[in-house]
Each structure stands twice: as C-alpha cells, then as structure tokens.
Amino acid sequence: MPTYYETELPNEDMRSEYEQIELRSEETWRDMPRGSGNALDISAVLTRELTFRDYLNEQIGQMRLVDDGMLHLCRFLIDCLDGRGYLDCPLEELSKEFGIPFFSLEQALYAIQMLDPPGIGARSLSECLILQLVQSRSLDPLTIGIARNGLEQLGRRDYKGLAAMLGAGVSEIKQASAKILALEPIPSRSFASSEPIAYIVPDAAFSVEQSRVTIELNRRVLPRLSVNTEYSALLATSDDPNVQQYVREKLTEANAIIKGVHMRCNTILRLLTLIATEQHDFFCSGGTLTPITMQQMAEKMDMSTSTVSRAIQNKYIQYRGRIVPLRSFFTTAIRSDASVSSQAVRQRIQDLIKTENPEAPLSDESVRIALSALGIEVSRRAVAKYRMALDIPPSSQRKKR
C-alpha cells in the first residue's frame, strides 16, 4: 500500500522585507544559569568549566577585526568546529549554504587559526600540525615537509622512506619527526567538553496507522530568528548615506542567515520524508532497516553528503515511545548488491543461535558458513563482532553441560 505523509511546516512565511522583521534580544540570555526565581546565578557562571569555544570567543572578542560583521563570522565558524577543534566542513559549502562570501569566511578562519590553542580551526591533521609549527616558529623545511606530506610514513616510523622522499639523512629525519610527535593532534583536548548535558528533545514525531505515516515537526525546536525593526526604520529616517549603506548591508546579511536557517528546516523535512519512504517496511511492518548510505540519500536530495550529515547531526525523532537518532536510519550494506543491512545480519545471527543445539552450539565459523548458505558473505571476525554486540557469549560458554 502507498504511504501518505502529513507534514507540519512553520506557518510563518519567509520575511524578505526589512520592515517585517522583529527582534527578541532577551533570548540571548535564555541559556544562562539561573538560581532561585529568575535571577542570574553568578556563582554558576563563575564555576562553569571553560570549553574551547568559550575560550575562543573570549579571544576573538579582544581582537581588532575589520568590523562587527567579521566578528559575527568568526563566532559562526567557532560554532562550526567539531569536538576536536577542527573545521570539518568545506568553506565552499558553508558559503553556498548560507550565502556568505567565500573570501569573508576564509578571512574569518585565518583569524581563528591565530588563536590559542595552536592548531585550532584546522581542516586536516596536516594543517593542524603546521599551524602549531608556525606559532612555535619551528619552520625548518624538513619538519614542515613531514607535516605536509609525510604523516603516513611517520605513522609507520618509516624514517628511511621519509629520508628518501625529502632528500635528508635518517638522523635529521628522526630529529624533525620528534618535533612532530611532540605536537597536539587534538587542539581541544585540555578543555572541558563543549557538549552541554541536556535532555534529548525530538525534532519530529513519527506515527503509523494502516500504512499511513505521519511526520509532525516539533515547532519548539525550530529556531525563530528575527531582526530589530529599528534598523529598518533607520533606512527611512536617516539622512546619512553611510548609515543607510551600513544598515542595508547588515540587514542583507541577517536575511541571508534567516533564509539559510529556513532552508535547513526544509532540508530536515525532505530528509524525514525520504527516510519514511526508504524505511517503509521498518515503520509499517516492523521489518529490518533497508541499507541506505548518506551519500545515496544526498544524491536523492541533490545535495552534498556533508550537507546531509550536518542536517542529521544531533537530530532525533520520536517513534513508538522511543527517541531514535536520525543517524540510526543509515546502515551499512554487507553485500555489494546492498540487499542486506548490518541490522539484518545481526537478526540472522540471533535467529541461528536461538535455534542451535544447546549441547553442540554453533561456533562463529559455523555461523559464518550458515550465513554464506543464505547468500550473506561475512568474515568470521565480523560474526564475532555482531555476536558480541548482541551480548551473546561464545559457543564454549553457551554449551549445555
């Protein structure tokens, strides 16, 4: 039977006119710790552990930047850093998705990379190490060469290979390598976790009745962004051309951000609809998940894989009383024809062991052979991994004595 979808979108249209935009500045303080009543809990603020994002924002606020727009871009990129302190999203994609000039993003990233801890804002391990070398003034060609092109050989301690590649002696290579090995590959390591401890609030609720899938977005988690109407009033009341130009530019930037957030909400809705379509059997009949990768989903949505990955990051749905992360709907295919998912393999293993002879339980190799007979090719090691994930002891411990 066909699946029907009922979706609930924000009923506020995208506001493109400046005079239609409003600001609720008090929301800036929403997440600050509060004590009894509604008073700001200063002691909680002072005793809070410093995260690397807090530290970066403190530093960036003291830098002499071109203008407030660059400051906002720096804070935006700081929020884009992953838990290690790396920027794992290409600037080109951020520029395209949010309508921000690539050059401006590049300048903001360069500013962040000047901050402490060294290596912050790197886009790769190589860049992270080079940034640390630059800040420490260790600029000898051998060390830079290893950081840029020789990390794979260094990982294998292939000093002779590095010497041949860089045209240096083995002893020189070992000295340069020692400098690399003393660097920190994870710039955020010494800071408190930047991930807040919070209850998980689902972004949408799925329900099914007679093959009818209903997707209801949680409006409370949808960001509502707006801009102060006083700024649009300045366009009409100010006689200063410089003021008018400045306000117009900032309102344009604000509209671009609001549009980007609106597009992100639409992306999530499209993604949820596709998940419901691809995993119809799972939702409607309790079957196993159909294997689909993020790349395949991105192709169906005509988007990049990283855009889809960011869209599902920290996103959850509520289904049959459970909170389920969106990432769990993307499974790994076991066979090249992508007809069997890892979840289906685990289910097969569990079924085989349930029906085994307790006096002669199946070994991992026997399970592998049985799966092969069913057309599922996995290694014995993979069988052991799935078995342990199912909390099933080895055959020697399952044997009935």
Beta bridge partners of 212: 4, 209
pLDDT at 119 (0 to 100) = 92
Task: Give dist(CA 153, CA 141) in Å, integer.
Answer: 17
Task: Give dist(CA 14, CA 9) in Å, integer.
Answer: 12
Other Cβ atoms within 10 Å of 164 Cβ, number: 13
Q: Does residue 379 contact residue 386 with C-beta atoms inside 8 Å?
A: no
Q: Tell me: the pLDDT tens digits for 159-207?
A: 999 999 998 899 898 988 888 888 999 998 888 665 555 567 888 888 8
CA-based R_g, the chain, Å: 27
Give 86's pLDDT tier (boundaries 50, 70, 90): very high
**Range with the lowest mean pLDDT among 19-23, 92-96, 236-240, 368-372?**
19-23
pLDDT at 128 (0 to 100) = 92
Give the phi and the psi of residue 324 in degrees, each rounded to 5: -120, 125
* Average of per-residue pLDDT values in the chain: 77
pLDDT at 193 (0 to 100) = 61
Structure tokens belonging to residue 360: 């002669």
pLDDT at 226 (0 to 100) = 78
Task: Give dist(CA 388, CA 346) in Å, integer.
Answer: 10
What is the percent of the chain with per-residue pLDDT over 70, rounded to a whole number?
A: 81
Give 390's pLDDT tier (boundaries 50, 70, 90): confident
* Sequence-distant (≥ 6) Cβ neighbours of residue 400 within 8 angstroms: 358, 359
Decide if pLDDT at 353 tops 70. Answer: yes
Q: What would the mean pLDDT of 49-55 be, rounded to a whole number?
A: 82
Task: Give dist(CA 227, CA 254) in Å, integer.
Answer: 7
Comparing 17 with 238, the larger pLDDT belongs to 238
Give 361's pLDDT tier (boundaries 50, 70, 90): confident
Nearest to 124 by CA among 105, 99, 141, 149: 149
Parallel, antiparallel, or unpaired for β 322-325 and 204-209?
unpaired
Q: Tell me: the pLDDT tens digits for 295-327?
A: 888 888 888 887 888 788 778 888 887 888 888
The 3-state secondary structure of the chain reads CCCEEECCCCCCCCCCCHHHCCCCHHHHHCCCCECCCCCECHHHHHHCCCEHHHHHHHHHHHCCCCCHHHHHHHHHHHHHCCCCCCCCCCHHHHHHHHCCCHHHHHHHHHHHHCCCCCCCCCCCHHHHHHHHHHHCCCCCHHHHHHHHHCHHHHHCCCHHHHHHHHCCCHHHHHHHHHHHHCCCCCCCCCCECCCCCCCCCCCEEEEEECCEEEEEECHHHCCCCCCCHHHHHHHHHCCCHHHHHHHHHHHHHHHHHHHHHHHHHHHHHHHHHHHHHHCHHHHHHCCCCCCCCHHHHHHHHCCCHHHHHHHHCCCEEEECCEEEEHHHHCCCECCCCCCCEHHHHHHHHHHHHHCCCCCCCCCHHHHHHHHHHCCCCCCHHHHHHHHHHCCCCCHHHHCCC
pLDDT at 121 (0 to 100) = 93
Comparing 322 with 338, the larger pLDDT belongs to 322
Q: Tell me: the pLDDT tens digits for 122-164?
A: 999 999 999 998 888 777 888 888 888 888 888 888 899 999 9
Q: What angle do CA 211, 212, 215 make, to 5 degrees?
A: 135
Q: What would the mean pLDDT of 366-372 be, rounded to a whole number?
A: 81
Give the phi and the psi of residue 400 in degrees, each rounded to 5: -80, 125
Residue with tokens 């640390």: 132
Give 267's pLDDT tier (boundaries 50, 70, 90): confident
pLDDT at 198 (0 to 100) = 54
CATH topology of domain 342-398: Arc Repressor Mutant, subunit A (1.10.10)
Highest mean pLDDT among 20-24, 103-107, 235-239: 103-107
Decide if pLDDT at 251 tops 80. Answer: yes
